Amino acid sequence: MCGIVGYVGPKRVTDVLLAGLARLEYRGYDSAGIAVVHEGSIETVRRVGKLSHLIGAVAEDPVEGSIGIGHTRWATHGRPSEENAHPHADCTGRIAVVHNGIIENYTELREELQAAGHTFRSETDTETVSHLVESLYAGDLAEAVRLATRRLHGSYALAVVHADDTGTIIAARRDSPLIIGEGAGENIVASDIPAVLEHTREILVLEDGQVATVTADSISVVDAEGLPVTCERMHVEWDLEAAEKGGYEDFMLKEIHEQPKAVRETLRGRMGEDGTVQLSELAMTTEEVAGIRRVIVIACGTSYHAGLVAKTLVEQWARVPVEVDVSSEFRYRDPIVGGDTLVVAITQSGETADTLASVREARDRGAKVLAITNVVGSRVTREADGVIYTHAGPEIGVAATKTFTAQIAALYVLALKLAQAKGTLSPAQVQHVWSGLMALPGIIERILGDQGALQECADQYKDGCLSSLFLGRGIGVPVAMEGALKLKEISYIHAEAYPAGEMKHGPIALITPHVPVVAVATKGRTYDKVVSNLQEVRARGAETIVVATEGDTEIVKHAEHVLYVPETDEDLVPIPAAVPLQLLAYYIAKAKGCNVDQPRNLAKSVTVE
């Protein structure tokens, strides 16, 4: 996610801005910049890459001033480049804006502003805000920003300055965090607490729709209608490390809790008012989509498990055969790929060597390649024909969590789009699925709100497990596979996932009281079969931990521990069911004293074969 810092006060503003941006580096970024108001003009310095490049540029050519704004950019629209880096100016260069979020209607606003004579210099959605504020500015910057935000669809955290006003920063937010650190004779606007801690622990939290006018000695806030409001203030006790983790003990736990937002932001704007699925990135006409005869998914690790979910969805909804292959196999198997094949490359980092090689292999054989990734400007975005971005924000923990559920959210959109183009789902069916998807962030919140049973499990299974089996049926199988991978990679307990129906074909020989069995047994077509499998393993001494549907009282007869999830349609189970399994692995690993953010032998992105 992008990082915002704004400062007004007696200190040298570039020192405060650069130090504040450094405190936000953990959020991930690909470029950075500052804008300083001094003697009636705005001086902007922007650099691609690490913050050190910007720091060096400012050291070479110091910028004087006591008010300014700064930004670290996690690209969502427009590749990482100096012209796309924030701050963004209006036509006159007398307004500067930094932004965190996604402006969904930026294309139409850009066209409207260009038609009115505004000249754009970047590919970003943010620059639209600069020109919109310019078009509405009549001497009152706060009012111009307030009126501009009423035209914006989507999420924003903004900090805005004007060359005419050397004492004021305007801050505004909707669905994207923004706080104001209240100091003595100084105030600091920021995306997150780490950026303000060395100046103050007194924090004012802006609410959605509010606009703040910030000077060195005052903070005044109005609501979306321009009426004065009083904001909640809080005193922060956190140290810096705790603040970077948002108060969570580990980045992994923080990112598990960011999943409602990751899913919501990935689904944002994907359903048109006319009921059509919005997926322009597919860059195919309806006829071309209808002409797709095969889909091949290539991916590794957790992304491969997301691909297995996609297989069920696309085959069921769009009636198109789907093969899912690990990239390290696909690239060497002389794959059968043709012009009627859509290859979907799933890679959160966009840098996985085997997946990149498979993309090249598929394209060389004439397939159209669609990438699903979390990192704008990553290698895969430059090699695929089209890109769907997940909007999970940077994932710091090596174990994939929020990027997994965000990938599945993106795959739901793709499957719906294919089904709509092929006419295999009616408009009513598409809307029914969409309503279910819209409910998922709230369902994840509910699961996250009750973790007691998980911590109980962790204490019981942290020692003495020789191995563990993860079982599921249908769309529950990839969830079981992901749960096994999570446990393996962060707690180092061996875990193996199987389609539950396979138990009789060998794995049941492994069952002893020291091999707990985790099963996905949510309501669905094969629920009774999974219950039978649970009875089989328990009859042989296994203890069972079962993910089940809220309200299912029957399941308690077959489980030592039940991890309930709210009821959803069977096709929508993967996202809710994945969350308790992520947490189970997390709590067991923590109980074992493992480093969950940097597990041994693992890297966040496998850029080598």
Catalytic (active site) residue 592: no
Instruction: Check binding of 302 to ligand AGP (CB under 6 A).
Output: yes
Residues in the chain: 609
Q: How far is the CB of 300 from ligand AGP (least distance, A)?
A: 4
Tell me which of 126, 155, 347, 390 binds ligand AGP, using CB under 6 A.
347
Of 327 and 341, the one with the shorter C-beta distance to ligand AGP is 327
Given the residues 2, 300, 457, 594, the one annotated as active site: 2
Question: Alpha carbon of 323 to those of 320, 334, 335, 336: distances in Å?
Answer: 10, 15, 11, 11
Give the interface segment with ligand AGP, choosing from 128-136, 192-200, 215-223, 395-403 (CB under 6 A).
395-403
Note the Cα 537 to chain centre separation in Å. Answer: 37
Instruction: Check binding of 398 to ligand AGP (CB under 6 A).
Output: yes
Q: How far is the CB of 166 from ligand AGP (least distance, A)?
A: 45
Tell me which of 124, 328, 349, 420 binds ligand AGP, using CB under 6 A.
349
Of 512 and 607, the one with the shorter C-beta distance to ligand AGP is 607
Strands 202-205, 31-38: pairing kind: unpaired
Half-sphere exposure of 559 (CA within 13 A, CB side): 22
Instruction: Check binding of 352 to ligand AGP (CB under 6 A).
Output: yes
Query: Is the Cα torsion angle 585, 588, 590, 593 positive or negative in sign?
Result: negative
Instruction: Check binding of 300 to ligand AGP (CB under 6 A).
Output: yes
Of 398 and 519, the one with the shorter C-beta distance to ligand AGP is 398
- Identify the H or E element spanning 123: none
N-terminal to C-terminal alpha carbon distance within the chain:
29
Tell me which of 399, 454, 542, 565 binds ligand AGP, using CB under 6 A.
399
Of 208 and 351, the one with the shorter C-beta distance to ligand AGP is 351
Strands 294-299, 341-346: pairing kind: parallel
Of 303 and 522, the one with the shorter C-beta distance to ligand AGP is 303
Q: How far is the CB of 253 from ligand AGP (least distance, A)?
A: 14
Give the interface segment with ligand AGP, choosing from 153-161, 168-176, 345-353, 499-507 (CB under 6 A).
345-353
Half-sphere exposure of 57 (CA within 13 A, CB side): 17
Of 186 and 489, the one with the shorter C-beta distance to ligand AGP is 489
Tell me which of 70, 301, 472, 524 binds ligand AGP, using CB under 6 A.
301
Q: How far is the CB of 96 from ligand AGP (least distance, A)?
A: 35
Give the interface segment with ligand AGP, choosing from 152-160, 294-302, 448-456, 500-508 (CB under 6 A).
294-302
Judge contact between 199 and 183, C-beta under 8 A: yes
Instruction: Check binding of 378 to ligand AGP (CB under 6 A).
Output: no
Give the interface segment with ligand AGP, choosing from 220-228, 298-306, 426-434, 499-507 (CB under 6 A).
298-306
Give the interface segment with ligand AGP, choosing from 37-45, 128-136, 347-355, 433-441 (CB under 6 A).
347-355
Residues that contact ligand AGP, how many (by CB under 6 A): 15
Q: How far is the CB of 574 from ligand AGP (least distance, A)?
A: 15
Selection from 228, 214, 221, 142 nearest residue 185 by Cα: 214
Exposure b/e, 244-261, CB count within 10 A at least 16 = b: bbbeeebbbbbbbbbbbb
Instruction: Check binding of 310 to ligand AGP (CB under 6 A).
Output: no
Instruction: Check binding of 348 to ligand AGP (CB under 6 A).
Output: yes
Tell me which of 103, 400, 518, 589 binds ligand AGP, using CB under 6 A.
400
Question: Alpha carbon of 422 to those of 48, 208, 339, 340, 482: distances in Å?
Answer: 42, 40, 18, 14, 30
Residue of closest CB approach to ligand AGP: 301
Give the interface segment with ligand AGP, choosing from 112-120, 344-352, 468-476, 499-507 (CB under 6 A).
344-352
Tell me which of 76, 126, 191, 303 binds ligand AGP, using CB under 6 A.
303
Instruction: Check binding of 358 to ligand AGP (CB under 6 A).
Output: no
SS3 97: strand
Selection from 574, 554, 570 nearest residue 562 by Cα: 554
Q: Which of residues 455-514 bind ligand AGP (CB under 6 A)?
A: 489
Of 487 and 530, the one with the shorter C-beta distance to ligand AGP is 487
Number of neighbouring beta carbons within 10 Å of residue 276: 15
Q: How far is the CB of 597 from ligand AGP (least distance, A)?
A: 11
Question: Alpha carbon of 32 to those of 47, 87, 171, 180, 252: distances in Å?
Answer: 6, 8, 19, 20, 25
Catalytic (active site) residue 523: no
Selection from 198, 180, 212, 158 nearest residue 22 by Cα: 198
Number of neighbouring beta carbons within 10 Å of residue 444: 27
Instruction: Check binding of 406 to ligand AGP (CB under 6 A).
Output: no
Strands 67-73, 3-8: pairing kind: antiparallel
Note the Cα 240 to chain centre separation in Å. Answer: 23
Q: What is the C-alpha separation between 296 and 314, in angstroms, rounded? A: 11
Give the interface segment with ligand AGP, choosing from 348-356, 361-369, 473-481, 524-532 (CB under 6 A).
348-356
Q: How far is the CB of 136 from ligand AGP (least distance, A)?
A: 42
Number of neighbouring beta carbons within 10 Å of residue 209: 17
Of 529 and 604, the one with the shorter C-beta distance to ligand AGP is 604
SS3 504: helix
Residue with tokens 């000077």: 215
SS3 588: helix
Given the residues 50, 422, 592, 604, the one annotated as active site: 604
Of 187 and 401, the one with the shorter C-beta distance to ligand AGP is 401
- Identify the H or E element spanning 37: strand 31-38
Judge contact between 100 and 3, C-beta under 8 A: yes
Q: How far is the CB of 583 from ligand AGP (least distance, A)?
A: 14
Active site residues: 2, 604
Binding interface with ligand AGP (CB under 6 A): 300-303, 347-349, 352, 355, 398-400, 489, 605-606
